Amino acid sequence: MVENNFGMRSKVFIVWCMCMLALTVRSQTEWAIWNSEIKVEDNRYILNLPDQWRKVTIAEGSGIDFKFDLSNVGIPATVGGSPLYANFTISRMSGNRHSQAMDQVLTDFTAFYDRVTEAGYNYDTTTAPIKTSQVGTVLHTRYYRRSKVSNYSKYYLIIYAAKSDETYILTLNFQYKDPSYDIERSAHFTEYAMKVFGHFEFR
């Protein structure tokens, strides 16, 4: 019986080691996208991004500085057999306007007539620093849209640049089909968003 118990513990330990190794390899693969970067910049800010991100053409006057498609870059291509889409935008408004930016962010997702949220949940907030040490507000929400037959996870960073007197909104948007929202955890959406925000810097 002692030998059997020892053998069982050995098997459990081996399986645990294999799982940890798989997680480590996966994590290294996911974050290897940052080994080669592109620099997005103007005379007010710089943002280094994975060079596999694809720049999206935006309409003039849209209020967006940059837009990128990051689908299948450090995140799964599919969830439960359906595509996982992701994009990122940078926009800004003049002045120190945190409350106005927060209102804009909230309107960005609460305006949908067909939005369905989990019971008792709307959004959560925290704070995060950027590369030049300023700290901004991070807002995260997730919901289902009936008209799109899709689930969404969104991460916003609202941060003020004193030098240029502007308030910035950085947005990561994920669209997929997973009513459990477990993909947020398994694909490390929060870590991905924080890593992107942490690469942002003011001149």
Q: Read off the pLDDT of residues 86-113 as tens digits, 9 standing for 90 and up.
A: 999 999 999 999 999 999 999 999 999 9
Residues 31 and 108 in one domain: no
Q: Are residues 43 and 26 in the same domain?
A: no
The answer to whether the CB of 43 falls within 8 A of the CB of 54 is no
Over residues 172-201, mean pLDDT: 97
Q: What is the CATH number of the domain that holds 96?
A: 3.40.1000.10
Q: What pLDDT shows up at residue 6?
A: 52
Please tell me whether residues 21 and 43 are part of one structural domain: no
Q: Looking at the structure, tell me whether residues 159 and 187 fall in a common domain.
A: yes
Examine the domain organization and report whether 21 and 41 are in the same domain.
Answer: no
- State whether 146 and 189 are in the same domain: yes
pLDDT of residue 30: 59
Same structural domain, 7 and 52 = no
> What is d(CA 195, CA 200) in angstroms, rounded to the nearest whole number?
9
CA distances from 20 to 24, 123, 136, 189 (A): 6, 32, 34, 20
**Are 47 and 28 members of one domain?**
no
Q: Find how far residue 27's CA is from the centre of its chain.
A: 16
- Structural domains of the chain, count: 2
Question: Residue 125 pLDDT more than 90?
Answer: yes
CB-based contacts of 175: which residues, under 8 Å, 6+ apart? 84, 85, 86, 148, 150, 151, 152
Residues 11 and 73 in one domain: no
Residue 91 structural domain:
36-202
Mean pLDDT, to the nearest integer, of 159-183?
97
Quick check: 17 pLDDT over 70?
A: no
The answer to whether residues 44 and 121 belong to one domain is: yes
Residue 4's pLDDT is what? 57
The per-residue pLDDT for range 135-166, each reduced to its tens digit, is: 999 999 999 999 999 999 999 999 999 999 99
Query: Band of the pLDDT at 5, cuts 50, 70, 90?
Result: low
Question: Beta-carbon neighbour count of residue 155 at 10 Å?
Answer: 24
Q: Does 30 share its domain with 41? A: no
